[in-house]
Amino acid sequence: MTARSSLTIVLAAGEGTRMRSSLPKVLHPVAGQSLLAHVLAAAPQGTGTSLAVVIGPDHAAVADEARRIRPDTLTFVQAERLGTAHAVLAAREAIARGADDLLIAFGDTPLISAGTFERLRAPLASGAALAALGFRAADPTGYGRFIVDGDRLVAIREHADASTDERKITLCNAGVMALDGRRALAILDKIGKANSKGEYYLTDAVGIVRQQGWEAMVVETSEDEVRGINTKAQLADAEGVMQARLRRAAMDAGVTLIAPETVYLAADTTFGKDVTIEPFVVIGPGVSIADGTVIHSFSHIVETSLGKNVSIGPYARLRPGTSLGDGARIGNFVETKAATLEAGVKVNHLSYIGDATVGANSNIGAGTITCNYDGFKKHKTLIGKGAFVGTNSSLVAPVKIGDGAYIGSGSVITKDVPDDAMALERNQQTIREGGAARYREMKTGKKKSEG
């Protein structure tokens, strides 16, 4: 059987004024990804699928985000806001190309799943002209109600227009809809604006479909999955739902989360086997964690690759561009950035390693800093295999420490150190016998005279 083609139109033109933010609503993040990114990732992908995003005027950032996630995305501008059907028709050019299935979704529903989109398409494959997504609301107040006959949709009744009995219905309109692509424009073009707001409502498509003698069907999903985001409070609620999903998925995949409710994950975090994460860990976007790695409490990791059997923290901060080889150890109060630490490297205490490459099995002592910034540019530090850098050392980049080199504690290294060489930069220590006692007498006498 030939696979059906699809066009997904994502409506993302909302200003999000209730968010109280200059950032377009659909660009606010949940689990390290924009609301829009979550929806686009769930939309059908692969051969025979296409994607269109309807944006508002001057929302080039939304178009850029859409193409970042799905480079083949078409974007259309809704210059005036005249209702949901009007927004869909902003993408008329894409609809006219004639996909078998037309899916209509919203850019502010980040919890919707790929599986739900596929379930919504199923009635179209069986001949229906329309399928609408509904949910059982804990509190249906304000939602449009589905008037149904079995699994057939008779009408969508807005709350304000519903009778007393109809308001008791808990099956509510999620807004997401699928139309037979061959009949989509004929349906959409019949939608009028004879209502109090003078807008074109997508929900009117149900009545038009039934007038034509075609079938409209209902597909149900959970209320969580179709949460729309209009306020920062709703954004936080969606984050909570997403984190619960991600934690459950991680544990189902074999990750040990000692206190799951305290761990924050990103939507794109990947795990190997036998990974353990202690309480109060934050993992941002772009993190991959290989087999056997342990992340200790109060660590923060973003855009980092962790090899097998790595140990992180507690209280470690791994910033973008960090890559750790198998068996590497990053200890308490260590920060890394744009750093490659090869297998077996140890940076156990109170150090900063930035814009650096550290060779396998090297040891970086407590308090070591790679001084990578000269006030104008960042510079690289290269540390060879098996090197030893003593405590409280400053490596002033650009500088190269050779294989097997030894840096004495307290050194400020500004010149390259050859393989197997020892470098020590330190003023000569002087001892003044009785100096401490004389110093105390001097200070005490000064205080007496002042009194």
In angstroms, the CA 271 to CA 430 distance is 54
Contacts of 357 (CB under 8 A, 6+ apart): 339, 340, 342, 380, 381, 382, 383
- Burial class of residue 64 in the structure, from the number of CB atoms within 10 Å of its CB (0-12 exposed, 13-18 middle, 19+ buried): exposed
Cα dihedral sign, 130-135-136-138: negative
Of 39, 417, 3, 427, nearest to 225 by C-alpha is: 39
In one-letter notation, the amino acid at residue 383 is I
Residue 227 burial (CB count, 10 A):
21
Task: Establish whether 59 is a catalytic residue.
Answer: no
At residue 105, what are phi and psi to the nearest 5 degrees? -130, 175
Contacts of 96 (CB under 8 A, 6+ apart): 185
- Quickly tell me which residue has 């005279």 as its tokens: 449
Candidates 38, 300, 349, 379; catalytic one: 349
Q: What's the Cα-to-Cα distance from 358 to each of 22, 263, 284, 363, rounded to whole Å? A: 42, 29, 24, 9
In angstroms, the CA 387 to CA 402 distance is 7
| Helix 35-42 / helix 114-125 crossing angle, nearest 10 deg | 40
At residue 171, what are phi and psi to the nearest 5 degrees? -80, 110
| Residues involved in catalysis | 349
